[in-house]
Structure 1
Amino acid sequence: MTGSAPEHAPATVIVMGVSGSGKTTIGTLLAQRLGWDFLDADALHPAANVAKMRAGVPLTDADRAPWLAALAAWIDRQRDTGTPSVLACSALRRVYRDALVRGAAEVRVVHLTGPAPLIAARMGGRSGHFMPASLLQDQLDTLQAPSPGERALTVSVEPAPDEIVTDIIRGLGLRERTEMPPGSLA
């Protein structure tokens, strides 16, 4: 795990990485452990984007522009209502992350990274996802790892999901949701 100590507690955490890195798994588990809202960015892809990817055709920046705008609007709505959130989103290039973060200190990025063979094996083992394993190399070629100026936390996907999420919570200085036992006084 690499990254800097948090300057502000994040209100939105963007879990990024190539397809198959575990964004949805880790993002869902992180949101559950924090008691935050969760969105998988794939849910906001226009149908035309999904069709292209399903056909093995990489998206262009023009394809991504309305999708990134929809994600940025979702982040804004969450922040405006004071709803802490986790967003699972590839965000492979700096320009995409900039379109989502927009300089907000309370929006932090977590980069999931790991060996290509491990990620390829995970992609090959899943079913029902529109992103074919044949696009992994394109994603790896497109990936621009976050720079120090982005204040991103980089986490290996090699450990178990619970361990990865624990590393993220610690690395971002967050606190897990604690539930009061039934009958206790708050």
Structure 2
Amino acid sequence: MGVSGSGKTTVARGLAERLGWVFLEGDAFHPAANVEKMARGIPLDDDDRRPWLSRLQAAIAQARTDYPDLGVVVACSALKQAYRDRLSCGDNEMVWVYLKGEFEPLQQRLQGRSDHFMSPTLLASQFADLEEPQEAIVLDSGRSPQTLITTILKSLSNHSSM
């Protein structure tokens, strides 16, 4: 989890590949209206995010049903505690990884990105909405994806559910 540009997709995809787990890209579950708003630089509000959270929550549940012997790695912003609570559905085994970054480096990263629908102008609104998690593996998003993946793997091996 984390704001746009923190490396969520790259790290989550790499982690899922290393573990042989299911990977879900949270952005793929946004309704078209949300994608259009973000592309135009209009921040989403809680009402906009409800259908996205519902779709993503259903996809997580479906992946866990379809692949009961595998874990599921999800790349998504999950900016607010209420969103994380909804996505976890009370599952005490869910582990949150927060890729924490500073505004300026993330803004530069976003400005150099051409393959994503989200306008870089929305980063400030994401930081405004961000409720940092109380229980998560917190990592510096400025580190290399491989370093982040290795650190997450070490943390997961110490987690009781592994």
**1:110 match:** 97
Using the alignment, how far apart are the partners of 2:43 and 2:157 within structure 1? Answer: 36
**1:13 match:** none
Using the alignment, how far apart are the partners of 1:71 and 1:106 within structure 2? Answer: 18
Instruction: Name the structure where helix makes up a greater proportion of residues.
Output: 2
Match of 1:47, as an amino acid?
A
Q: 1:120 aligns with which of 84, 107, 120?
A: 107
Q: 1:137 aligns with which of 110, 121, 124?
A: 124
Kindly indicate whether the alpha-carbon contact (under 8 Å) linking 1:124 and 1:133 is maintained by their aligned counterparts in 2.
Answer: yes
**2:59 match:** 74
* Unaligned stretches of 5+ residues in structure 1: 1-15, 175-186
Instruction: Give 1 or 2 for the bigger CA radius of gyration.
Output: 1
Match of 1:92, as an amino acid?
L
Q: 2:4 aligns with which of 16, 19, 29?
A: 19
* Unaligned stretches of 5+ residues in structure 2: none
CA drift at 1:106: 2.1
Percent identical pairs in the alignment equals 47
Q: 2:27 aligns with which of 26, 33, 42?
A: 42
**1:61 match:** 46
Q: Does 1:159 align with 2:143?
A: yes
TM-score (norm 1): 0.81
CA drift at 1:58: 0.5
Q: Give secondary structure in 1 for the equivalent of 2:74.
A: strand
Kindly indicate whether the alpha-carbon contact (under 8 Å) linking 1:153 and 1:172 is maintained by their aligned counterparts in 2.
Answer: no
Q: RMSD across aligned C-alpha pairs, in angstroms?
A: 1.4
